[in-house]
């Protein structure tokens, strides 16, 4: 089989997410491209957790509702998901006494772990061994992956997995060697962190908030390797203010948060604009308002981040749709922030941030852009007027420069002013940076086109792009994915022959549709989903057939 969907389910504390990534890595060894989606409640233990792993010869960035293999570590997994099993699919379950009773392939995970004197969480290793047997994965591949990615108690985990491997029976999901290059598997959050490091980030500040917490963990674990400082302040207000302080001193900084944390940072966003201190902010969208459904995903903060902050000032906003784009456009955002001295925002979502992808590192190259620095001649004017509004930078410690910054309106030296002419002059200076940003990104791809020439054009954004591209291929439609949301690109050449424009997004009001209409593009129909879950490819195909075609 060249396209397989696997669901691994159990309770929080069963190691479901670890198991899912190991499954993805096993298939990756055979040349498969993978995508992993994690579904979990905001609980430390209990509840129902499951991960969807899709593996395919082709690049995949979305899951299907239907699955070929269900791996059940508890009864609830079967109760909730048995109806999703495709014809010919297999249920792999824990047949230990008092556990699951159903038809399929039963292996006593719990009893194996007890016999081997392992910890309860090691049932996931037993499940992994059984999965490998059902899919007819060579045992040597299992050993290789365990030794590389399960560094703790590896031998015991392998012993447990081998026992389950020997007890399971081969199913009808035989892995084929696709003879394709094996690609690394990384999350969207890891891609964001890597893009920032490649663009010269020196300090990362964050208060943990799903779904951006993974960036903090990844960068903290690799801070020595990347030669960066990673700081966890007491709250989001401290995060943004400390980051601005670091940037004022010359360190390229990034902060990460979600919608609720960004709400606390908004005054700091305006401070960044007034003081012209570069800052890059990652906002991972989740189901809202307020606490909402904190471990699930919606694309409902687009207009919030587009309009956040009191006063009028330019900003740069990107909304990547997969791991490669997250890597590249985070680098672009940091470079724009420092080249143009504006706040840059990377708008992610839970599905992208916590999704795991086969990562093609050859697609993009991120390079570090250098800011305009003061030449040391004459008096230093922190806010010196220029043709594009961008003033040369100097940093504290330079004996020849007095580096003043302020939240008040000011003159070119940085001295507070309330004189009407100077106020208007500085307002205009800052607004000139919009053109500076446009020039900085003129060679950057602002929108991507997929599919075939079609009278019907689908607009989408962020991680919803994955399901849309596959659905468009199946239905013969064209897809447009704006990535740069501010300054918004000119889309006239892309839609000149469009008869009908449809938006597909995971929110309740059609936020991309509203942005398109604000830019003079009529939207004929909106396909929306707002139950805090992403679009699945087969689900979207049916909705497009029913509502659009």
Q: Is residue 172 part of a domain?
A: no
What is the 3 state secondary structure string of 92-135?
EEECCCCCCCCCCEEECHHHHHHHCCCCHHHHHHHHHHHHHHHC
Q: What integer pLDDT is reported at residue 103 of this predicted model? A: 86
Question: Are 437 and 473 in a shared domain?
Answer: no
What's the pLDDT tens digit per position in 410-449? 999 999 999 999 999 999 999 999 999 999 999 999 999 9
Q: Which domain holds residue 11?
A: 3-167
Q: What mean pLDDT do residues 525-544 have? A: 97
Helix (H, G, I), strand (E, B) or coil at 408: coil
Nearest Cα residue to 441 out of 308, 530, 340, 354: 340
Among the candidates 409, 444, 479, a domain finishes at 444
Q: Is residue 78 part of a domain?
A: yes
Q: Retrieve residue 115's tokens.
A: 């016999």
Place of tokens 């060894």: 29
Q: Retrieve residue 218's tokens.
A: 């990844």
Whether residue 293 is predicted with pLDDT greater than 90 in this model: the reply is yes
Q: What integer pLDDT is reported at residue 29 of this predicted model? A: 96
Whether residue 101 is predicted with pLDDT greater than 90 in this model: the reply is no
Question: Are 373 and 517 in a shared domain?
Answer: no
Q: What integer pLDDT is reported at residue 240 of this predicted model? A: 98
Q: How far apart are CA 123 and CA 308, in angstroms?
A: 47
Nearest Cα residue to 109 out of 150, 153, 161, 49: 161
Question: Are 486 and 360 in a shared domain?
Answer: no
CATH code for the domain of 118: 3.40.920.10
Nearest Cα residue to 540 out of 470, 480, 478: 470
CATH code for the domain of 320: 3.40.50.970
Q: Is residue 128 part of a domain?
A: yes
What's the pLDDT tens digit per position in 205-263? 999 999 999 999 999 999 999 999 999 999 999 999 999 999 999 999 999 999 999 99
Nearest Cα residue to 92 out of 170, 29, 161, 156: 170
Q: Is residue 178 part of a domain?
A: no
pLDDT band, very low/low/confident/very high, at 102 (cuts 50, 70, 90): confident
What's the pLDDT tens digit per position in 139-180? 999 999 999 999 899 999 999 999 999 999 887 788 889 999
Question: Are 154 and 209 in a shared domain?
Answer: no
Q: Is residue 337 part of a domain?
A: yes
Q: What integer pLDDT is reported at residue 445 of this predicted model? A: 97
Question: Are 188 and 329 in a shared domain?
Answer: yes
Quote the pTM value: 0.96
What is the 3 state secondary structure string of 150-203?
CCCCHHHHHHHHHHHHHHCCCCCCCCCCCCCCCCCEEEHHHHHHHHHHHCCCCE
CATH code for the domain of 467: 3.40.50.920
Q: Is residue 175 part of a domain?
A: no
Whole-number percent of the chain with pLDDT over 70 = 100
Q: What integer pLDDT is reported at residue 100 of this predicted model? A: 84
Question: Are 145 and 209 in a shared domain?
Answer: no
Whether residue 44 is predicted with pLDDT greater than 90 in this model: the reply is no
Q: What integer pLDDT is reported at residue 398 of this predicted model? A: 93
- For the CA atoms of 116, 118, 124, 128, the dihedral, rounded to the nearest 10 degrees, stands at -40
Question: Are 208 and 269 in a shared domain?
Answer: yes
Question: Are 439 and 455 in a shared domain?
Answer: no
Question: Are 260 and 337 in a shared domain?
Answer: yes
Q: How many separate domains does the chain show? A: 3
Q: What integer pLDDT is reported at residue 116 of this predicted model? A: 94
Q: What mean pLDDT do residues 172-200 have? A: 94
Q: Retrieve residue 531's tokens.
A: 């139950």
Question: Are 213 and 306 in a shared domain?
Answer: yes
Question: Are 96 and 221 in a shared domain?
Answer: no
Q: How far apart are CA 545 and CA 549, in angstroms?
A: 5
Question: Are 126 and 234 in a shared domain?
Answer: no
Among the candidates 167, 198, 231, a domain finishes at 167
CA within 13 Å, CB half, 216: 20
The chain-wide mean pLDDT, for the chain, equals 96
Among the candidates 424, 444, 464, a domain finishes at 444
Q: Is residue 308 part of a domain?
A: yes
Q: Is residue 176 part of a domain?
A: no
């Amino acid at each position: 089989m060249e396209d397989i969907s696997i669901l691994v389910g159990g309770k929080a504390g069963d190691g479901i997410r670890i198991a899912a990534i190991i499954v993805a890595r096993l298939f990756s060894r055979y040349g498969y491209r993978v995508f992993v989606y994690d579904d979990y409640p905001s609980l430390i233990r209990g509840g129902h957790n499951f991960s969807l792993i899709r593996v395919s010869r082709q690049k995949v960035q979305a899951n299907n509702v239907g699955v070929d293999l269900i791996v059940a570590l508890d009864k609830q997994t079967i109760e909730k998901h048995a109806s999703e099993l495709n014809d010919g699919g297999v249920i792999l379950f824990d047949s230990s006494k008092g556990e699951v009773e159903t038809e399929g392939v039963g292996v006593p995970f719990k009893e194996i772990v007890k016999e081997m004197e392992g910890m309860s969480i090691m049932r996931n290793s037993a499940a992994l061994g059984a999965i490998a047997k059902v899919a007819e994965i060579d045992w040597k591949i299992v050993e290789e992956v365990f030794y590389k990615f399960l560094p703790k108690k590896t031998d015991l985990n392998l012993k447990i997995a081998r026992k389950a491997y020997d007890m399971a029976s081969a199913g009808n999901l035989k892995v084929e060697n696709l003879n394709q290059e094996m690609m690394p598997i990384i999350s969207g959050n890891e891609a964001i962190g890597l893009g920032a490091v490649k663009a010269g980030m020196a300090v990362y500040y964050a208060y943990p908030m799903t779904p951006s917490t993974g960036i903090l963990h990844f960068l903290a674990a690799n801070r020595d390797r990347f030669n960066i400082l990673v700081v966890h302040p007491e709250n989001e207000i401290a995060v943004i203010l400390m980051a601005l302080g670091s940037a004022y001193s010359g360190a390229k900084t990034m902060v990460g948060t979600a919608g609720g944390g960004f709400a606390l940072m908004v005054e700091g966003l305006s401070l960044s604009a007034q003081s012209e201190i570069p800052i890059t902010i990652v906002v991972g969208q989740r189901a809202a308002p307020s606490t909402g459904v904190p471990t699930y995903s919606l694309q409902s903060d687009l207009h919030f981040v587009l309009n956040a902050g009191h006063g009028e000032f330019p900003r740069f906003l990107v909304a990547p749709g997969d791991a490669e784009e997250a890597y590249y456009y985070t680098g672009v955002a940091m470079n724009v922030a420092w080249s143009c001295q504006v706040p840059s925002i990377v708008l992610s979502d839970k599905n992208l941030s916590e999704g795991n992808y086969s990562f093609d590192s050859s697609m993009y190259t991120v390079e570090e852009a250098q800011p305009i620095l003061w030449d040391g001649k004459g008096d230093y004017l922190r806010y010196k007027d220029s043709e594009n509004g961008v003033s040369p930078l100097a940093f504290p410690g330079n004996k020849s420069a007095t580096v003043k910054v302020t939240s008040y309106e000011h003159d070119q030296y940085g001295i507070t002013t309330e004189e009407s002419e100077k106020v208007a002059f500085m307002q205009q200076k800052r607004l000139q940076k919009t053109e500076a940003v446009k020039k900085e990104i003129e060679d950057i791809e602002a929108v991507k086109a997929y599919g075939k020439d079609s009278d019907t054009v689908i607009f989408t954004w962020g991680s919803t792009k994955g399901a849309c591209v596959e659905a468009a291929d199946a239905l013969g439609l064209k897809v447009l994915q704006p990535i740069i949301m501010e300054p918004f690109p000119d889309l006239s050449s892309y839609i000149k022959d469009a008869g009908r424009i449809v938006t597909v997004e995971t929110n309740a009001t059609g936020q991309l549709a509203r942005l398109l209409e604000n830019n003079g593009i009529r939207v004929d129909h909106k396909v929306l989903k707002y139950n805090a879950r992403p679009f699945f490819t087969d689900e979207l195909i049916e909705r497009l057939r029913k509502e659009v075609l």
